[in-house]
Amino acid sequence: MPLLAKMHIVCGLFSIISGLLVLSLPKGTTKHIWIGRVYAGSMLALNLTALALYRLTGSVNFFHLAALVSFITVVAAWWQVWQKPKGWPIAHGLLMLWSYVGLMAATAAEIASRVPGWNFGWSVFISSSLVIAIGAWLIRNYKPQLISRFSSR
């Protein structure tokens, strides 16, 4: 396995773990901020490595577009924190939630695409669509609990 692919996997694992931790912590705490930085950094590295991988098709493909959208989403979420425009906590929270949903959709697609006997295109489409649908439902129904748990630090 090429070094770039190994780096991509490690960044993905760091993103999954740190993302889950940061989503479960009270917002605005020092721990949330530091683990959030790990998440953002690992996501940015994950997306950069994804943009550099061409082994699947030999050229730019849908996964490169998804990595670019993910990269922009993470940068936009951090921009909210840096600039603090009106309503920034909600915007930051939603962008980070969607960033994690995208990460999990990509992970599901990666796993499903490797199941022997499954059609590559359909396995990627169905698995990622299912994760996105579940993520959208969770965000819609649990947004207040997920975003507004700010600490009183």
pTM of the predicted protein model: 0.90
Spatial separation of the C-alpha atoms in residues 132 and 147, rounded to whole Å: 18
Q: Where are the domains of the chain?
A: 3-147
How far is residue 48 from each of residues 28, 53, 92, 136, measured CA to CA in Å?
Answer: 27, 9, 21, 25
pLDDT at 59: 65
Share of the chain above pLDDT 90, in %: 74
How far is residue 85 from each of residues 26, 33, 37, 43, 109, measured CA to CA in Å?
Answer: 21, 18, 20, 23, 35
- Chain segment 115-147, per-residue pLDDT in tens: 999 999 999 999 999 999 999 999 999 877 766
Q: Which residue has the higher pLDDT, 54 or 86?
A: 86
Which among 123, 90, 130 is positioned nearest to 109, based on CA atoms? Answer: 123
Cβ 11 vs Cβ 45: under 8 Å: yes
